[in-house]
Structure 1
């Protein structure tokens, strides 16, 4: 049994900042299993617990000069494990939030963009088809669909019979259907 093994926790803690690798090794021997069990209880994952405890000891070794232990060594180590786990939870939560926001943007953004493109294309095709109607048919169709007039009101406004209005609207719709069939099939 070496000299370091006979030191108290307080004496070990005092030696850590002075680049004493033997002190770090002794802390590892004393607390690894305890910290590992603690991490396993918190995480429910043996491998992740092992990684967490290893990271705590790696930090203890690499940052030992900057370590300031104001409590007991045991409290410091348990707090280090707990903080490491909480940091991991935060990273995982932020990572998951980021993934979810990207997924949501992709799903909504792509869907909304596709929908807008299709809507604009459909509107343009309808406008082109209506623009190609004979003048009287276009006038009657516009009064029906844009001004929302009844067939009787359209007949009075255009000085034609209601039968003519019905015929013109039906022909206009037939032309639109034929011109837009490929669009809807696509």
Structure 2
């Protein structure tokens, strides 16, 4: 058994920052398969997915000395994967438009524009999934998350029990986590 398998993520990151290759190997073992599966669900391409996950771990090793973890390691890695997935989608879309237009150059967007595009993409995904909810669930979800009503206020307004409201909110959250993936769901919650 690897001695690092009993270490938690924070301990592994501390060792990684010191250049400990065995700690890096444990992080890789712990997360590479999960990250691969997460990225593959989005990309549906084995080679692109392998390259993406390799890039994430290469970046992690190369930036180990300056690496600052302000969240969980899993959350950080999943967010890196999601950002790279967006980069791939964006790149494929730009190349497609470039080929269709016959232009001889592609203008690179600024970092701010890139961020806004990603934010818009995520907001669009979330809006589509909310719109796809059953009507009553959607109404309860929107009263909670857009009108910022309490469970009690929603129950009173809709003349249903608080238990029904709570159940519908739990189902709505599960629906969004399932459809969007946990990272996008967390980004939605943090962005509210």
When the two structures are superposed, what TM-score results if normalisation uses the length of structure 2?
0.50
Tell me the equivalent position of 1:59: 59
Segments of structure 2 that go 5 or more residues without pairing to the other structure are: 105-192
1:22 aligns with 2:22: yes
Q: Which has the higher helix share?
A: 1
Segments of structure 1 that go 5 or more residues without pairing to the other structure are: 105-186
Structure 2 CA distance, aligned partners of 1:92 and 1:65?
33
Aligned length: 105
Aligned-pair CA distance for 1:34: 0.7
What are the Cα deviations for residues 53-84 of structure 1, in whole angstroms up to 9, with x where unaligned? 11111111122122211111111111111111
1:41 aligns with 2:41: yes
Tell me the equivalent position of 1:2: 2
What are the Cα deviations for residues 142-163 of structure 1, in whole angstroms up to 9, with x where unaligned? xxxxxxxxxxxxxxxxxxxxxx
Tell me which structure has the larger Cα radius of gyration: 1
1:31 aligns with 2:31: yes
Aligned-pair CA distance for 1:103: 5.7
**Secondary structure in structure 1 of the residue aligned to 2:69:** coil
Equivalences for 1:1-186 in 2 at 5 Å?
Answer: 1-102=1-102
When the two structures are superposed, what TM-score results if normalisation uses the length of structure 1?
0.51
Tell me the equivalent position of 1:151: none
Structure 1 CA distance, aligned partners of 2:65 and 2:99?
38
**Secondary structure in structure 2 of the residue aligned to 1:70:** coil
RMSD over aligned Cα atoms? 2.1
Aligned-pair CA distance for 1:92: 2.0
After superposing on structure 2, the runs of 4+ consecutive aligned residues of structure 1 that deviate more than 3 Å are none
